[in-house]
Amino acid sequence: MRAYEFEQHIPASHSVFLPLPEDVAGNAKIIVLFPDAGETTQSLSSRFANLAEFTAWLETLPPTERTVEEIDQQIREERNSWGD
């Protein structure tokens, strides 16, 4: 499976045009992701110069109240929801 990612502005007409590679034809799943209100679209790679900066930032966050088992269960549920 191959994936293609495009960033586009959504105009007032609410329609988009996605140019795809010439070798792509047939059925496809289309997924559209857009940020929640107030969410930044800045990528992690542009926020942090390296993994050490990211790790330092991550360590400033408060710990979660969930157990490892609860987190693993949520991951299993999410994976099971993906279907085939």
Inform me whether the pLDDT recorded for 64 exceeds 70: yes
Between 66 and 6, where is the model more confident? Answer: 66
pLDDT of residue 21: 75
At 2-57, the pLDDT tens digits run 666 777 777 788 887 777 778 878 887 777 777 666 655 555 556 778 888 888 88
Q: How far is CA 29 from CA 2, 32, 50, in A?
A: 11, 10, 33
pLDDT of residue 73: 92
pLDDT of residue 46: 67
Rg over CA atoms, the chain: 19
